[in-house]
Amino acid sequence: MTKIKLTQKLAVTLMVGAALLTGCGKATEANGTKDKVKIGISQIVEFAALDDNRKGFIKALEDNGYKQGVNLDVDYQNAQGDMSTAQTIAKQFASKKKDLIFAIATPSAQGAYNATKKIPVMISAVTDPVAAGIVKALEKPETNVSGTSDYLPADKQLDLIKMFVPKAKRIGVLYNTSEINSEVQVNQLKEYAQKNNYEVVPVGVTSTNEVNEAISSLLGKIDVLYVPTDNLVVSAMPIIVQKTLEKKIPVIASESGSVEAGALATQGIDYYKLGYKTGEMAVKVLKGEDISKMPISRPEETQIIVNEDSLKALSIEKIDNKNIVYVKSK
């Protein structure tokens, strides 16, 4: 008889406990915190192309049902061009056990990969993920990293020199010696120059404080300046544009934001679309797809963008071509 009563009391206790747990679950769901996806976004520096890339990524999440404050928690951090800060951001994301990390640009991507081998890392605006050491191959990463690359063959950009500065012989290039993606592009430039009878005059920098002096040292030695997709250098574009226009030196850039800032032209990609593509890939990963088998995507569409104001300032004639989009300086 005593055993029966104890059994009955135990059953009642378990039922009450279950009810309390159910009630807590409903309250959590009502507060919008149940099953919320936590994504950390690490961006190396602020400038138009990378900002657009981030916006495209978030828009893709929204279009696939992930809403900030409802079932999505986005933690956005910017390293302000400092690589050690990018490493710190990545370590924080790893310690907080984010469901996914979105790393924009090579230093942020390397920081995220160094910080975790378990959390899925989506990357974008990374020129060469293999050279950066974060995937084994573009077709099959075999790591916890995938996403999109902004790689374009150098000849697409440099053919613009033939179009707008046909008499040029010496190409200057300003790049960050600490960024592997920049070294890759400088090497491509040298290969192109050798094949097309150009001389390359490279100058490396390690911080934005060095850009002013570096660009001044180049101007008397070159006919045109090439700016790769280098985060540090592109963030200093206002200084570069001011100095080069004063000396009537055209700037061939690697993305549209630089042209809007005053560079002459680019054969560029749409970084918003690139970010959106990465967001679509992230959705697949969140739904269970194996990131280690997901190929890195590269841009297929390019567009020639020319700054009309810089064209006039450099006394270069406008080219009537339906494939060229003319923009004004912002």
123/180 same-domain check: no
Residue 97 lies in a domain: yes
Dihedral sign from CA coordinates of 117, 120, 121, 124: positive
Tell me what pLDDT residue 171 has: 97
Residue 25 lies in a domain: no
138/201 same-domain check: no
Would you say 64 and 283 are in contact if contact means Cβ atoms under 8 Å apart? yes
47/125 same-domain check: yes
Q: Whole-angstrom Cα distance, residue 222 to residue 215? A: 11
State which amino acid sits at residue 183. E
Residue segments in the chain with a per-residue pLDDT below the cut of 50: 1-34
66/131 same-domain check: yes
Alpha-carbon distances of 184 from 106, 176, 180, 251, 283, rounded to whole Å: 12, 11, 6, 19, 30
Q: Both tokens of residue 191?
A: 């290969």
Q: Both tokens of residue 61?
A: 């999440």
φ, ψ of residue 197 to 5 degrees: the values are 60, 40
- The total number of structural domains in the chain stands at 2
Residue 27 lies in a domain: no
187/312 same-domain check: yes
132/173 same-domain check: no
| Count, residues in the chain | 330
Q: Both tokens of residue 306?
A: 């020319």
200/311 same-domain check: yes
Q: Both tokens of residue 207?
A: 């911080």
CATH number of the domain within which 193 lies: 3.40.50.2300
Residue 26 lies in a domain: no
Residue owning tokens 């657009």? 52
Tell me what pLDDT residue 2 has: 45
Q: What is the DSSP string of 153-199?
A: -HHHHHHHHHHH-TT--EEEEEEETT-HHHHHHHHHHHHHHHHHT-E
State which amino acid sits at residue 86. A
214/66 same-domain check: no
**Would residue 147 be called left, alpha or beta, if left means φ above 0 and alpha means ψ between -120 and 50 degrees?**
left
* Global pTM value: 0.79
159/275 same-domain check: no
Residue 112 lies in a domain: yes
Residue 80 lies in a domain: yes
Residue 186 lies in a domain: yes
Alpha-carbon distances of 54 from 1, 27, 46, 99, rounded to whole Å: 68, 33, 10, 17
Q: Whole-angstrom Cα distance, residue 216 to residue 244? A: 9
Residue owning tokens 């989506």? 122
Q: What is the 3-state secondary structure (H, E, C) of 17-63?
A: HHHHHHHHHHHHHHCCCCCCEEEEEEECCCCHHHHHHHHHHHHHHHH
143/274 same-domain check: yes
Tell me what pLDDT residue 211 has: 94
109/173 same-domain check: no
What pairing do the DSSP bridges indicate for beta strands 145-149 and 121-126? parallel
227/207 same-domain check: yes
Q: Which residues form the domain of 183?
A: 154-268+303-327
Start-to-end Cα distance in the chain: 87
Mapped onto helix, strand or coil, the DSSP state of residue 173 is: strand
Residue owning tokens 């920098």? 205
Q: Which helix (H) or strand (E) holds 101?
A: strand 100-104
pLDDT in tens, 16-63: 444 443 333 333 333 344 479 999 999 999 988 999 999 999 999 999
Residue 13 lies in a domain: no
Mapped onto helix, strand or coil, the DSSP state of residue 39 is: strand
